[in-house]
Amino acid sequence: MARHEIRIAGFGGQGVILAGMVLGRAATIYEGRHVTLTQSFGPEARGSAASVDLIVASEPVLYPYLTEPDILVAMSQEAYTRFVAALKPQGLLLYEQDLVSCEPARCDLRALGVPATRLAEELGRKLVLNMVLVGFLTGVTGLVSAEAVQKSIADSVPKGTESLNTSAFHRGLDYAAALQPAAISK
């Protein structure tokens, strides 16, 4: 049975919850998998801690909470510091490399950084860094197909921003594709 536990974490205003919803929708609606999603965020609209936990499985999910995440997407230093210890040995850490310092690093993880904010700024809107990270996760893991995620983006983002969000997603996919295959498979 294929089961993946994913935590995406950052701070309010980075689109953490939307990133999780896009991935969850892609997996369940467009690929027919079983998905649970739980979210946590502070009372402030922006700047407080935010996280979303996803379980993507080929069989029904009987317990909807993460026990040991396979993948952590850290969009802020606080998210990295708070959640990296829970990542399972040999887990995958994807991080926003301009906002997160992975020191001290756990040597038992596969860690890959992406300049998501810079790539989003090149598109004219740094708020789409979440879709850059969704693209990066999709490209690195193959957990969900790019086609399913594109459909999910179109269904999930505010009307009028579909093209911008899809472009950001492709920036992340392209960045993942440009990495050496050895770096991804480690």
Residue type, 10: G
Strand partners, 182: none
pLDDT at residue 13 in the model: 83
pLDDT at residue 186 in the model: 45
pLDDT at residue 43 in the model: 57
Which residues of the chain fall below pLDDT 70?
1, 42-47, 104, 180-186
pLDDT at residue 44 in the model: 53
Contact 169, 129 (CB under 8 A): no
Secondary structure of residue 11 in the 3-state scheme? strand
pLDDT at residue 102 in the model: 85
Phi-psi region of 142 (alpha: psi -120 to 50; beta: other; left: phi over 0): left
Q: Give the domains, in start order, of the chain with CATH numbers.
A: 3-179 (3.40.920.10)
Average pLDDT, the chain: 91
